[in-house]
Amino acid sequence: MKKWFMIPIAISLLLAITYPTYAISNRAVHWGFTKGKNEQQADAGKEYDELLKKHHAVYKGNPQDKILYLTFDNGYENGYTEAILDVLKKEKVPATFFVTGHYLKSQPNLVKRMVKEGHIIGNHSWSHPDMTQISDEKIREELRKVKEETARITKQKEMHYLRPPRGILSERTMEIANQEGYTHVLWSLAFLDWRINQQKGWKYSYDNIMAQVHPGAIMLLHTVSRDNAEALEKSIKDLKGRGYRFESLDYFMMKEKVKSPLPGS
């Protein structure tokens, strides 16, 4: 009788020890930061900085280098990506496009063009879930399907950059991504540009970009935005006029010497 009595107590003690650890590792973080201004860098704070450093994640580069890293999130097509690609080609600006499964399935020709013109395809998950709410196995599946479909329709066989859907992440999701060979790429410049029914004109996009820009900025824009498409060329030209230049995420990783999350490296 005494042994049976002790079993529930032992289970309770085990849960008390292990559950807090799991809860901490899976605590959802909604990415955010204090915006940059007057060309001073955005700041996510010590806690977030340490979390990202632990998992080799990035959101901004060297504050001394007037280098910008342009990235786009592509969940679906709204008719503006072709114009954006035209501007990038004209201005010789590299970009990274974080795509979903829906985008790969519905816009293979645009994805092919991105790669053909020297841009990088990043992983934005297959179905855009909150990854902190799905299993380890499901996370791996979400990442694998995007990588495989990208490789099938383009010449990009490898995929190293991940942008978590909705900007939600946790220690657990970051660890799994690292195991799969991914670097989390967050951002230090963004604004409400994805609401397609609340577009405010090209100047809204332009003003937000110019107000927040800073050395080392990883810029997040959405291609569904008409404002972004119409403001992009002037924004790029004026940023170049301020002494900035644009580089790719591959350059970022080399320049910043970010430790690779690839297994065994």
What tokens were used for 63? 């504050």
* Count of other CB atoms within 10 angstroms of residue 184: 22
Amino acid making up residue 121: I
Q: How far are the Cα atoms of 11, 121, 189, 245 from residue 238, in angstroms, in the given order? A: 63, 26, 16, 11
Tell me which DSSP letter residue 65 carries: S
**Dist CA 7 CA 21 (whole Å):** 22
Q: Which of 200, 162, 190, 154 is nearest to 178 (CA)?
A: 162
* Catalytic residue IDs: 73, 222
Contacting residues for 83 by C-beta, under 8 A, at least 6 apart: 229
Give which of 87, 90, 85, 88 is closest to 107, Cα–Cα.
85
Report the alpha-carbon distance of residue 170 to residue 186 in Å, rounded.
13
Q: What are the residues whose beta carbons fall under 8 Å from the beta carbon of 133, sequence distance 6 or more?
A: none
